[in-house]
Amino acid sequence: MLASMGIPFADREEAGRELGALLRALALTDLIVLGVPRGGVAVAAPVAAVLGAPLDVVVVRKIGAPQNPELGIGAVGAWGEPWLDHRLIATLSVPPRFLEEQIAIERDEAARRVEAYRPNAPPLDVGGRDVLVVDDGIATGGTVAAAAQLLRIQAPRRLVLAVPVAPAESVERLRGAYDEVIAAYTPEPYTAVGQWYRDFHQVSDGEVRDLLKEASSR
The answer on pLDDT for 1 being more than 70 is: no
Rounded average pLDDT over 87-115: 92
- Residue 102: pLDDT band (50, 70, 90) is very high
- What pLDDT was estimated at residue 61? 86
The answer on pLDDT for 122 being more than 80 is: no
- What pLDDT was estimated at residue 6? 61
| pLDDT tens digits along 2-39 | 444 467 899 999 999 999 999 999 988 999 999 999 99
Calpha distance 144→182 (Å, rounded): 13
Lowest mean pLDDT among 44-58, 72-86, 121-135, 171-185: 72-86
- What pLDDT was estimated at residue 3? 45
Domains of the chain, start order = 3-59+122-216 (3.40.50.2020)
Name the amino acid, one letter, at 85: D
Distance set, CA 118 to CA 34, 112, 123 (Å): 13, 10, 8
The answer on pLDDT for 121 being more than 90 is: no
Calpha distance 161→144 (Å, rounded): 8
- What pLDDT was estimated at residue 196? 94
Read out DSSP for 18-83? Answer: HHHHHHGGG---SEEEEE-TTHHHHHHHHHHHHHT--EEE--EEEEEETTEEEEEEEEEESSSPPE
- What pLDDT was estimated at residue 2? 42
Calpha distance 155→130 (Å, rounded): 10
- What pLDDT was estimated at residue 154? 85
- What pLDDT was estimated at residue 110? 87
Maximum pairwise Cα distance, the chain? 49
The answer on pLDDT for 217 being more than 70 is: yes
Percent of the chain surpassing pLDDT 90 = 62
Q: Is the peptide bond before 38 cis (omega within 30 degrees of 0)?
A: yes
Percent of the chain surpassing pLDDT 70 = 96
- What pLDDT was estimated at residue 153? 82
Higher pLDDT, 77 or 51: 51
Q: Is the peptide bond before 46 cis (omega within 30 degrees of 0)?
A: no
Query: Shortest CA distance to 39 belongs to which of 18, 65, 13, 63?
Result: 13
Calpha distance 168→190 (Å, rounded): 9
